[in-house]
Chain A
Amino acid sequence: MQTVITPIFPDISTREHTPSADRFDQTWRASLSTLLGWGRAAGADFVEFFLERVNYINCLAEEDTITSISPRLSTGAGVRVFKGLSDCYVSTNDLSFNGLKTALEKGLSIMGLHLPRQSTIVPEINLEPLRDYAALKGKESWLANCSDMREMGDILLGGTAQLNRQAAHIQSRRATYFRDWQEVLVASSEGTFARDMRLTQTIACQLLCADGAYRTSIGKRQGNTGDPNFLRSWDAAAAAAELAESAGKMLYADYVESGNYPIIMANEFGGVIFHEACGHLLETTQVEQKTTPFLEKKGEKIAHENLTAWDEGLSANAFGTIDMDDEGMPVQRTLLIENGILKNFLADRTGSLRTGHPRTGSGRRQNYTFPAASRMRNTYIAAGDYTTEDLFASVDKGIYCKKMGGGSVGPTGEFNFGVDEAYLIENGKITKPLKGATLIGEAKEIMNKISMSSQDLSLAPGFCGSVSGSIYVTVGQPHIKVDAITVGGR
Chain B
Amino acid sequence: MMNIEELANRAKDAAQKLGIAKFDIYGATVDENSVQVDGGKPKQVKASQRSGVTVRVWNEQQTMGIATTTDVNPKGLELALETARNASVFGVKEYVPDFSPEATAPIEHIPTDKTPQVPVAQLIETLIDAEKDLLDRHGAIVSVPYNGLAQRDSDSFYINSAGAARFEGGSYASIYLYTKTEQEGKKPRSAGAIRLSHSLEKLDIPGCIQEAATKTISHLDYEKIKSGKYTVVFSGEAFLSLLGAFSNIFNAQNILDKQSLSTPESLGTEIASPLLSVWDDALHPDNVGISAFDQEGTPTRRLPIINEGILTNFLHSAGTAKRMNAKPTGHANMGAKVTVSPNFYHVLPGVAASQQLSLNTADNVIYIDDVSALHAGVKSLQGSFSLPFDGWLVRQGEKISIDSATVAGDFLQLLKSIIFVESELQFTPSGICPRIWVEGLSITGE
Contacts and interface: CB of A to CB of B under 8 A. Distances in A.
Nearest to A102: B49
A461 interface: no
Given A217-B382, A418-B386, A93 B45 contact: no
Instruction: Name which of A69, A85, A259, A417 has the most chain B CB atoms within 10 A of its CB.
Output: A69
A435 B180 CA distance: 34
Contacts of B145: 289-291, 411
A86 B382 CA distance: 47
A253 B377 CA distance: 17
A53 B71 CA distance: 10
A91 B372 contact: no
Interface in B334-378: 335-337, 372-373, 375-377
Interface string B24-61: 00000000000000100111111111111000000000
Interface string A276-309: 0000000000001111000000000000000000
Interface in A460-490: 486-490
Nearest to A84: B41
Contacts of B72: 93
Given A21-B75, A73-B83, A217-B379, A89 B90 contact: no
Contact of B48 (A85, A90, A215): A90
Contact of A110 (B45, B51, B379): B45
A407 B376 contact: yes
Interface residues of B, number: 74
B47 A76 contact: no
A74 B86 CA distance: 18
A107 B70 CA distance: 21
Interface string A357-376: 00000000000010100000
A66 B89 CA distance: 12
Given A65-B94, A412-B189, A418-B386, A72 B68 contact: yes
A90 B48 CA distance: 5
A73 B48 contact: no
A168 interface: no
Contacts of A487: 444
A440 B404 contact: yes
B87 interface: yes
Given A93-B49, A215-B381, A149 B90 contact: yes
Contact of A73 (B79, B227, B336, B383): B79
Contacts of B52: 74, 93
A408 interface: yes
B258 A88 contact: no
B119 to A, nearest CB: 9
Interface in B380-400: 381-384, 386-388
Contacts of A74: 52, 68-71
A88 B46 contact: yes
Contacts of A289: 38, 143, 145-146
B44 A87 contact: yes
A258 B442 contact: yes
Contacts of B89: 149
Contacts of A98: none
A92 interface: yes
A402 to B, nearest CB: 16
A455 interface: no
Contacts of B94: 65
B376 A408 contact: yes
Contacts of B386: 418, 436-438, 488-489
Contact of B83 (A71, A290, A406, A410): A71
A88 B47 contact: yes
Given A68-B335, A72-B67, A73-B69, A488 B257 contact: no
A42 interface: no
B47 A291 contact: no
Contact of B86 (A21, A68, A149): A149
A110 B44 CA distance: 11
B146 A258 contact: no
B70 A76 contact: yes
Contacts of B41: 85-86
Given A74-B70, A436-B384, A371 B377 contact: no
Interface string B180-191: 100000011110
A289 B386 CA distance: 29
B228 to A, nearest CB: 9
A172 B444 contact: no
A149 B45 contact: no
A153 B90 contact: yes
A332 B256 CA distance: 48
Contacts of A288: 38, 43
A405 interface: yes
Given A60-B337, A90-B48, A93-B51, A150 B376 contact: no
A258 B142 CA distance: 34
Contact of B373 (A91, A407, A490): A407
B379 A369 contact: no
B163 to A, nearest CB: 26
A70 interface: yes
Contacts of B80: 73
Contact of A416 (B48, B91, B388): B388
Interface in A75-124: 75-76, 85-94, 103, 106-107, 110-112
A261 B136 CA distance: 42
A375 to B, nearest CB: 15
B336 A69 contact: yes
A109 B125 CA distance: 16
A52 to B, nearest CB: 10
A73 B76 contact: yes
Interface in B175-202: 178, 180, 187-190
Interface of B: 38, 41-52, 65-72, 75-76, 79-80, 83-84, 86-87, 89-92, 94, 120-121, 142-143, 145-146, 178, 180, 187-190, 227, 257-259, 335-337, 372-373, 375-377, 379, 381-384, 386-388, 404-406, 408-409, 442, 444, 446
**Ordered nearest first, which 3 A-B pairs have the shortest CB separation?**
A488-B406, A88-B45, A258-B444
Given A110-B120, A258-B444, A411-B180, 6 more contacts: A60-B337, A67-B337, A69-B65, A74-B52, A149-B86, A488-B377
8 contacts: A69-B66, A69-B90, A73-B69, A73-B80, A258-B444, A289-B145, A369-B50, A490-B408
